[in-house]
Amino acid sequence: MPDLKKPFGIDLGTTYSAIAHLDATGHPDAIENREGDKTTPSVIIFDPSREIVVGSEAKNEALLNADRVVEMVKRYMGTEGWRRTFDGVDWTPESLSALILGKLARDASDATGVPVEDVVITHPAYFTDVERAATRAAGEIAGLNVLGLIEEPVAAAFAYSMAADKELHGNVLVYDLGGGTFDACVISVSPAGVGRDIRVLVTEGQRTLGGKDWDARTLGYVLSEFALRTDLDLEAFASGALGEEAGVRYREMLQDLTGRVEDAKRALSHPQKPKARVSVSFEDARETIEITREQFDMMTADLLLQTIELTRKAMDEARDKGADTIGTVLLVGGSSRMLQVREAVAELIGPHAEIRLFEPDLAVAKGAAYVAMHKELFKPESDSRAAAGGATVSPEEARERADAFLPGPVAATIVGTSFSIVLSHALGIVAVEGSTETPHVSHIVPSQTPLPFSATERYGLYEDRQTSALIQVKQGDSDVPEDCHALGNVELRLPKPMPRGTAVDVTFTMDAQGMLEVSGLQPDTGAVVSAPVERPATMNADEIAEAARRHTAMIEHVRD
């Protein structure tokens, strides 16, 4: 039996991150950081003294030192070529995210006295394989053993369904509006107990839409009102046209004002607070800007509408799969507290579904802790077994292992729970349309296809006397190759030169864990090629290893 470790679940968020584990009673506990908070701002500042600061202190200085601060890095996960450079060192989204993960792990280890090694990390359900691979790479760079990744809405649903006083089954809509990303998922949950299945039916989302956009819209309104009332040319201060000292004063004001605007947004989320007041003081001018809930809703209506349209699309697609009714809506993510969200979702869903706001800041991390325990209990007995693609341990073995960690009922439920997901973005290959001679993406597997799957399409050779066929695998819903992510290439070698139009069958097979295998077959000759397509990343194995070494070396410069 392997040396089982206490696993942890991590919500690697765009604006805030959190880490959780299961306590001795089997209940999820979000762990406080060294500042005494259960969430940590996903903000990094590279101090001119060569210190690296992660968390609240960095967030409080974000606007004062904007050129040395990194925020919202999650929005750039999997973006090829995206870099930030500080003091001559290039930082990728993966290596920057590793700094955040490292902060969470060190703080949790200090708080619990248990080394944080085995983890499950969450990601938006709408992430592509490239973005998921980047998330896994971030964990590896941070020196963590990533047991697996899990979609944020699935984690939240798992946490809710495990709560002692909560019952969750049937078709569930998870509306997940975080600080920087949005997911709308329809999930089927079987009744509680052993043998429960949490199955994703449909996922839609937008990785560049979140509460930060509401903040920016509100801040813009306050600044415009202040400028109008005082006749101050704030753009001149912001651009530096009035000198560096004036620019510093403006950034100091903006840093303070940003916090006040966030407070106002939170106040307007309270049913008994129809308006909020924001005080602004700058250059001997002082004004109090009042924002009513009606004004707030109007200035952000287009943002809310984007989430509702994505939610409507998810529901329509789920209906096509037989999920005609939604029994429960889970509002997840800190920004789902806004009253406009509940009102818009209620109008969309109708009176028959129950809408529940469930620990919006911590549900994902707590759900990840349950999933981490599930992964730990089913971990193969040896690395060689895992590398060979061997099955995980049996439920009976997992249940026996669970006794060392958990009380009986919790252990049985975790061991007996299964997960199934869908393909968030279509898979296809680059093909050439004969009539136009234009390369395009021919989709073999559409988005929202349940895992596992196997699908085959027949193509013809493009040129005469071809001796091989290059199968270029793409993921994305566009038919334009440049708009899709490249997952890799598989080359089918033919036994002899063959004429244009000769048949080639391309098969995509993906297992329940999301591992993709691509094969090509020339049916007349029996020529065949089959190869696994590893989850792609913008960093290869050598680059990840080098980034991990650098991360370890940089720890002494990180101030937690």
- The C-alpha angle 298, 361, 191, rounded to 5 degrees, equals 105
Tokens encoding 361: 């800041």
Q: Cβ distance 123 to 176 under 8 Å?
A: no
Q: Cβ distance 382 to 2 under 8 Å?
A: yes
Q: Which residue has the tokens 């209906």?
A: 319
pLDDT in tens, 516-541: 899 999 999 898 988 777 655 567 77
**How many Cα atoms are found within 13 Å in the side-chain-facing hemisphere of 443?**
17
Low-confidence ranges of the chain (pLDDT < 50): 1, 383-390
Strands (E), 190-267: 197-206
Q: Cβ distance 465 to 504 under 8 Å?
A: no
Q: Cβ distance 290 to 280 under 8 Å?
A: no
Tokens encoding 261: 């605007």
- Quote the CA–CA distance of 29 and 23 in Å, as a whole number: 6
Q: Cβ distance 510 to 517 under 8 Å?
A: yes
- Which domains occur in the chain, in start order? 8-166+359-420+543-559 (3.30.420.40), 167-356 (3.30.420.40), 427-525 (2.60.34.10)
Tokens encoding 243: 């000198």
Q: Cβ distance 417 to 406 under 8 Å?
A: no
Q: At residue 135, what is the residue type?
A: T
DSSP state of 274: S
User: What CA dihedral angle connects 471, 533, 127 and 94, to 10 degrees?
Assistant: -120
> Which pTM does this prediction carry?
0.90
Which pLDDT belongs to residue 534?
61
DSSP state of 534: P
